[in-house]
């Protein structure tokens, strides 16, 4: 099989969760013996990476005034990615022997008219179009617009952008021969939107270093870890809301909040003016050393969709998790015992104060199944459990689970007080079948 993968930025050395997902899917496909061409933008300050069997066609990111998207039919994300040079590179890459074009991320949907023209001109060998989704954009963009508090002009722009994003996503769904989702909930939405269309769930998974068992006790800094970038408007709004709610109770308990990931400097400075509890590392090559010095990892987003890759970093990095319930979709863990969840942030400190309860040491290193035996939770490197249950995989595309994942700590969440015993143990050994 020969394919062309069109995406917004080369994912081979991922620095963001979404790129980590794309990297895993791409490498899993190559592992089946498929040959591919990657057409993407590549920042000059970052190495593009490489993969056996993959030909790189990389271009510098276009310089676009994003505000001009207001007069375009494209949403702002797609508008800033559109470039004639990219279109020419893609057209050259899709040679007559290519079997499929993967359009990775909804904003790359601006290439769809070109790919459809190439497909229509084919004689003999068919060309499949695969839409690799990261979330249901129509729902997410509408949530972002409705969540906006501030300038009415910005609110109107966000609502217009949501309409455009939904329109582009529907075009992709209609044109695609196959749609991939990263949660079963998203798959169900796509199936309703396109009855009869092939849709498969390719659940993200972890393929990085796994922390050894660690003890969280009095020697561990009273530090909450927020892993991930803070550049997108929705993430910044989510973080700001969380910081406002957490500021008073965290200060009273002597808790600090560390953001490990890429952040716009102006936003970081603004947040530090608002609160003395937070600090920012900026972009780092590895978040593991920061997680090793934290007591808990948070996912406080009230607006957002799809699978949250940072949760895997927390789990395999040995951190308990506190999260908004809607943001743990797709994790095969016990919501009542393996995480601290709340339905919403609520805008007050009450929910965060509830996290001050003690973390009980887990009885085993995996969530207990029937008869008290450890229950293996299977996650592939980038492979889902498709059709036949855990481990089934999809032989067509070659996404297959390869390892069993450890369950998270059986946690009740002490990140402010000290344990009455020797400390809370977070054990990240694998539960093997």
**Rounded distance between C-alpha atoms, residue 404 and residue 377, angstroms:** 6
Give residue 374's pLDDT: 32
pLDDT of residue 380: 32
CB hemisphere CA count around 387 (13 angstroms): 10
Residue 27: pLDDT over 90? yes
Q: Does residue 208 lie within any of the structural domains?
A: no
Task: Please identify which residue in the block is written with the tokens 């947040």.
Answer: 271
For residue 397, tell me if it sits in a domain: yes
Ranges 290-299, 306-315, 389-398, most confident: 290-299
My answer on whether 118 and 233 are in the same domain is: no
Asked if residue 206 is part of any domain, the answer here is no
Q: Are residues 250 and 376 in the same domain?
A: yes
Give the separation between CA 180 and CA 185, rounded to whole angstroms: 12
| Rounded average pLDDT over 337-346 | 74
Q: Evaluate whether residue 225 is within a structural domain.
A: yes
Q: Of 65, 187, 211, 74, whose CA–CA distance to 135 is shortest?
A: 187
- Asked if residue 111 has pLDDT above 90, the reply is yes
pLDDT digits (tens, 9 = 90+) for 126-141: 999 999 999 898 888 8
Task: Answer yes or no: is 249 within a domain.
Answer: yes
Q: What residues form DSSP beta bridges with 329?
A: none
pLDDT on residue 306: 67
To which H or E segment does residue 426 belong? strand 424-426
**pLDDT exceeds cutoff 50 at 391:** no
Residue 431 lies in a domain: no
- The predicted structure's pLDDT at residue 345: 56
Query: Tokens 């062309």 belong to which residue?
Result: 4
Is 123 in the same domain as 94?
A: yes
Q: Which domain holds residue 340?
A: 214-426
The whole-number pLDDT of residue 88 equals: 98
Q: What backbone phi and psi angles, to 5 degrees, belong to 102?
A: -95, 120
Based on the domain organization, do 103 and 219 belong to the same domain? Answer: no
Whether the per-residue pLDDT at 324 is higher than 80: the answer is yes
- Residues above pLDDT 70, as percent of the chain: 77
Query: b or e along 8-21 (b: 16 or more beta carbons within 10 Å of the residue's beta carbon)?
Result: bbbbbebbbbbbbb
Distance CA 179, CA 102 (A): 10
pLDDT score at 283:
84
Quick one: pLDDT band at residue 388, thresholds 50, 70, 90?
very low
* pLDDT for the residue 106: 96
Same domain for 89 and 168, yes or no, is yes
Q: Do 13 and 67 fall within a single domain?
A: yes
Same domain, residue pair 53 and 196 = yes
Q: Enumerate the H helices of 176-291 as residue ranges.
A: 184-193, 233-253, 265-274, 288-291
Same domain, 237 and 187: no
pLDDT bin (cut points 50, 70, 90) of residue 104 is very high
Helix (H, G, I), strand (E, B), or coil: what is residue 376?
Answer: coil
Q: How far is CA 380 from CA 133, 179, 284, 346, 369, in A?
A: 18, 19, 25, 35, 20
Element (H, E) at 116: helix 112-121
**3-state secondary structure at position 105:** coil
Note whether 192 and 298 are same-domain residues. Answer: no
pLDDT, tens digit, 9 for 90 and up, residues 150-206: 788 888 988 999 999 999 999 999 999 999 998 888 999 999 999 999 999 998 878
| Residue 281, pLDDT above cutoff 80 | yes
- CB burial of 195-211 (b: ≥16 within 10 Å; e: otherwise) equals eeeebbbbbbbbbeebb
Mean pLDDT of the chain: 78
- According to the model, what pLDDT value does residue 371 have? 35
Segment 371-394 mean pLDDT: 31
User: Same domain, yes or no, for 302 and 181?
Assistant: no
If asked whether residues 196 and 233 sit together in one domain, one would say no
Residue 379 — φ and ψ, nearest 5°?
A: -135, 135
Among the listed residues 77, 33, 29, 335, the one whose alpha carbon sits nearest the alpha carbon of residue 202:
29
Last residue of a domain, one of 201, 225, 249: 201
State the pLDDT at residue 404. 31
pLDDT digits (tens, 9 = 90+) for 209-237: 888 888 888 899 999 999 888 887 888 88
Q: Which tokens belong to 336?
A: 């009542």
Of 49-53, 244-248, 350-354, least confident by mean pLDDT is 350-354
Using one digit for the tens of pLDDT, what is the confidence trace for 402-411?
Answer: 333 333 333 3
Predicted pLDDT of residue 393: 32
Q: Please tell me what DSSP assigns to residue 71.
A: G
Name the domain boundary from 167, 201, 235: 201
How many distinct structural domains can be found in the chain?
2
pLDDT class for 311, splitting at 50, 70, 90?
confident
The CATH number of the domain holding residue 190 is 3.40.50.2000
Is residue 5 within 8 A of residue 34, CB to CB? The reply is no
Does 273 reside within a domain? yes
Domain boundary among 201, 231, 251: 201
Q: What stretch of H or E contains 23?
A: helix 17-31
| Residue 38 and residue 86 share a domain | yes
Cα–Cα distance for residue pair 371/432, rounded to 1 Å: 17
pLDDT at 17: 62
């Amino acid at each position: 099989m020969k394919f062309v993968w069109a995406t917004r930025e080369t994912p081979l050395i991922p620095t963001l969760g979404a790129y980590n997902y794309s990297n895993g899917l791409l490498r899993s496909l190559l592992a089946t013996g498929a040959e591919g061409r990657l057409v993407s933008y590549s920042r000059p300050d970052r190495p593009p990476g490489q993969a056996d069997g993959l030909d790189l066609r990389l271009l510098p990111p276009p310089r676009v005034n994003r505000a001009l998207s207001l007069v375009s039919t494209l949403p702002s994300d797609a508008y800033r990615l559109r470039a004639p040079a990219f279109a020419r590179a893609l057209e050259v890459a899709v040679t007559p022997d290519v079997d499929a074009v993967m359009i990775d991320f909804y904003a790359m949907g601006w290439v769809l008219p070109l790919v459809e023209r190439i497909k229509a001109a084919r004689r003999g060998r068919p060309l499949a179009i695969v839409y690799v989704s990261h979330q249901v954009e129509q729902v997410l963009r509408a949530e972002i617009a409705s969540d906006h508090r501030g300038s009415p002009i910005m609110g109107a722009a966000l609502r217009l952008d949501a309409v455009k994003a939904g329109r582009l996503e529907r075009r992709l769904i209609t044109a695609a021969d196959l749609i991939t989702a990263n949660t079963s909930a998203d798959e169900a939405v796509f199936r309703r939107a396109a009855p009869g269309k092939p849709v498969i769930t390719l659940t993200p998974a972890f393929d990085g270093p796994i922390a050894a068992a660690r003890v969280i006790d009095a020697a561990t800094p009273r530090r909450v870890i927020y892993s991930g970038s803070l550049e997108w408007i929705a993430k910044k709004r989510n973080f700001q809301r969380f910081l406002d709610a957490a500021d008073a109770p965290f200060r009273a308990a002597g808790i600090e909040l560390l953001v490990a990931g890429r952040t716009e400097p102006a936003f970081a400075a603004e947040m530090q003016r608002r609160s003395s509890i937070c600090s920012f590392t900026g972009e780092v090559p590895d978040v593991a050393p920061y997680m090793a010095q934290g007591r808990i990892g948070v996912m406080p987003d009230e607006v957002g969709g799809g699978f949250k890759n940072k949760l895997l970093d927390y789990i395999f990095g040995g951190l308990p998790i506190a999260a908004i319930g809607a943001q743990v979709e797709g994790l095969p863990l016990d919501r009542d015992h393996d995480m601290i969840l709340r339905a919403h942030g609520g805008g007050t400190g009450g929910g965060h104060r509830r996290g001050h309860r003690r973390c009980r040491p887990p009885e085993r290193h995996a969530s207990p199944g029937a008869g008290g035996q450890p229950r293996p939770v299977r996650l592939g490197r980038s492979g889902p459990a498709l059709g036949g249950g855990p481990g089934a995989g999809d032989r067509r595309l070659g996404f297959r689970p390869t390892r069993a994942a450890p369950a998270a700590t059986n946690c009740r969440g002490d990140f402010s007080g000290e344990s009455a015993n020797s400390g809370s143990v977070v054990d990240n050994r694998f539960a093997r079948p």
